[in-house]
Structure 1
């Protein structure tokens, strides 16, 4: 392998022209032939015994090129990036320039590299912070779920009202014939819940136990295809009417639904927990707004590959969450009516924000000469071990120590920015002033995990056409 040309491009990318010499490429072609020949039938030869020249004569000299290219260019790419001392941020864009016996393989690789960052003010940022207060009405609202859970359904001998539960038998008919999924027995239906097709529940009002009625129903146009827009008849028999009876909200109620002896103590606890929750939410919103301002003060030509790499992580996280809920990613996408491409597109703004936040916090850490000590790292390992019921050695085996240190470093930087921020009206973007001298920072060669999460160990370059994402194309260029 040799690099024949290096050219800096826009948007923090470098284009390398890489050649795999004829001898090395010929070895890859021979390897591809040996792998493929067992599946190629040639008249006059036993399967798998046809000479390479015969096969090439039948299908062309390039018949094994694709397999050979896929075999050699990942290693050639990685060697070229290492030789040029580039910090590859992932998702390179490959183009084949020339491939033949005389010159071997020549291709270009557009490498996304860590951008140079200009960060303006990061201290003294201002953002609004909600004032937290809890009213008596708020506490009453907090009580409602407990009241609903303690509410009992009691059988009544009267006509059904809105909010009652009717126990019914029903069967649906389309042109006089019952249809699949349209039958139920002893079904408890809360009138007004909206759980049945529109118009069904309303027609139960006024009926009492023992009444029978034919309900004329027209299915919505967006219903299942077999029934969409159709007019059908449901034959319904009401077997019982039940009304909800809420409990007396008193000290006995408090004892039943909580660990408190009195309603006053229970309400006090609900109010305190609501206060804590709202305080945490207000702080989270404040911190998020401060980081938004920090991002506004960032100037960097963010390469597409960096955003795409972050998108890969987000998609992996989606898949892990779905798996944890017992659902495959394919099933989730079908349920949501989405394709992987649609989900990826919807997640792109989030990925771009995460990349910007990371770059900005790294710049803060560099400007403040922040470091993470071994003691701090060991303490974090201990916390994770306790949280997940593991030993420290098991945590270190599962989590990259370098990635852990990077996470802690970014947390330090974030804490500094938030601690130095003030509560107040957020400045307009065009009026935001840099109170400190702009600092330019560039990162030295990172480890594979330095992005705060573990990177794939050996991600093969993808042979794709160059394409700028809309988000990264709009980023301001660093001065």
Structure 2
């Protein structure tokens, strides 16, 4: 086999693959054996039709497709390895020469990963976030803790923002009740914005036992086309008003939390301060990482092929579907609830897909420019970390992995991130 590569346009190359007449004739022989198994000819048992009779009746061209299917995939993979290109989509083929006793000449037009021209990626200026923990930070966490342990109790008096109103409701459009617009003893948290805009605000000031008509307008993008943008009237009866009653912050409350080594309010505050500090340090580092990677990407020059973006979008759709399934959900149900379809969903994902690809391409280029590599010890350390996280034995995990190539590339990219973070200029 011989192969020639030429660039036809940005991110697209043409491979001209030439296979010997001998190899093509062998593929024709194999194709004939395959198809002849099911052929019946007068005077011959099934599967025993002579080759000349077959070619006279059907033509040798009838074997070309099977011969090409047998030859081209491997020839293409060998050509990719020999020319060191990085395809991002399946090739399109053009057969330039084909025939029994002739060399096979095929052209594969291939969309490839773009070449990246790096700009500045070291010495990037980044403003560091403060990791100081203030008294207000601790008080805010204490408030969240108290809110999480609050009791819901019936209260006297009118509905206020933050209260839970237990209501019956029924909606009418043009005086006619509509499907899905009725509920009984529904607990609605005022201010949660879980109902149609304007609904919850009109409950404020009502008292238990009151009935009221509430007029609202459905959003233009509402999932039901019949109600989108329409005005509706809800008849609402308020049964109860409930409010959140916070526990007293004292040592008894802290003990009831049953946190190891935390016995007093002072212990709790110290523990929260430590936790907040760790969160702020993580946020500060992530801010530096996000900033330097984003700026390094902005400084680089490349053009991502559409096929590569669509491939990333397809991957993100699969990831989303897997997440939904883990929650007992699926994409079809998501589309029903949101009024979205696959095309709209993909359009929503596309900017993030392009961003992910841009970051990865830039970091891969930095790996190459800085000759970043990983050691066997680093690979084993990462494998041990993964094995421990999933409760597996290291050797068992290694045996189940088809290749360590992807893991090694991921580790190189992470080292590239560490490198540009280390070289960043903090302000």
TM bucket, shorter chain: 0.7 to 0.9
Q: Secondary structure at the match of 2:370?
A: helix
**Cα gap change, 1:6 to 1:404, in 2 (>3 Å):** closer
| Equivalent position of 1:151 in the other structure | 150
Q: Is the 8 A contact 2:168 2:238 kept in 1?
A: yes
Instruction: Work out the number of aligned pairs and report it.
Output: 406
Structure 1 residues 315 and 90, CA gap change in structure 2 (3 angstroms): same
- Deviation per CA, 1:85-125, whole angstroms, max 9, x where unpaired? 43444425324244765778643223466777776776655
Comparing both chains, which one has the higher relative contact order based on Cα–Cα distances under 8 Å and sequence gaps of 6 or more? Answer: 1
Whether contact under 8 Å (1:362, 1:413) holds in the other structure is no
The aligned residue for residue 350 of structure 2 is 345
SS of the counterpart of 1:226?
coil
Name the residue aligned to 1:362. 368
Given that residues 86 and 113 in structure 1 are in contact (C-alpha distance below 8 angstroms), is that contact kept between their aligned partners in structure 2? no
Give the superposition deviation at 1:278: 0.9
- DSSP-derived class of the 1:110 partner: strand
Which consecutive unaligned segments of at least 5 residues does structure 1 have?
A: 39-50, 425-479
**Are the equivalent residues in 1 in contact too, given 2:196–2:218 (CA < 8 A)?**
yes
Q: TM-score, normalised by structure 1?
A: 0.68
* Secondary structure of 2:209's aligned partner: coil
- Does the aligned pair in 1 maintain the 2:130–2:280 contact within 8 Å? no
2:50 aligns to what? none
Distance in 2 of aligned mates of 1:81 and 1:242: 68
2:73 is matched with: 74
Are residue 139 (structure 1) and residue 142 (structure 2) matched?
A: no
* TM-score between the two structures when normalised by the length of structure 2: 0.75
Q: Are residues 88 and 305 of structure 1, via their aligned partners in 2, closer, same or farther at CA, if it must alter by over 3 Å?
A: farther
Secondary structure in 2 matching 1:365: coil
| 1:209, distance to aligned residue in structure 2 (A) | 2.3
Q: Secondary structure at the match of 1:213?
A: strand
1:317-396 pair list within 5 angstroms: 317-328=319-330, 335=338, 337-339=341-343, 341-342=346-347, 345-346=350-351, 347-366=353-372, 370-372=373-375, 374-396=376-398
Instruction: Return 286-295 or 233-242, whichever deviates more.
Output: 286-295
Who is 1:422 aligned against? Answer: 425
Q: Secondary structure at the match of 2:273?
A: helix
Deviation larger for 138-147 or 350-359: 138-147
Return the alpha-carbon distance in structure 2 between the equivalents of residues 181 and 148 of structure 1: 32
Aligned to 1:276: 278
Offset from partner CA, 1:10-38 (integer Å, 9 cap, x none): 54654212356563675587589679999
CA distance 1:391–1:18, change in 2 (3 Å): same
* Mapped partners of 1:7, 1:80: distance in 2: 13
Shift of 1:358: 1.6
**Structure 2: unaligned runs, 5 residues or longer:** 41-52
Contact kept, 8 Å, 1:365 with 1:410, in 2: the verdict is: no
Q: Is the 8 A contact 2:97 2:104 kept in 1?
A: yes
Q: Structure 1 residues 262 and 5 mapped into 2: Cα distance closer, same or farther (>3 Å)? A: closer
Contact 1:310–1:355 (8 Å) recurs in 2: no
Q: Give me the whole-angstrom Cα distance separating, in 2, the residues matched to 1:165 and 1:220.
A: 24
Partner of 1:207, secondary structure, is: coil
CA contact (8 A) 2:154 2:240 kept: yes
> Residues 229 and 55 of structure 1: is their aligned pair in 2 closer, same or farther, counting only changes over 3 Å?
farther
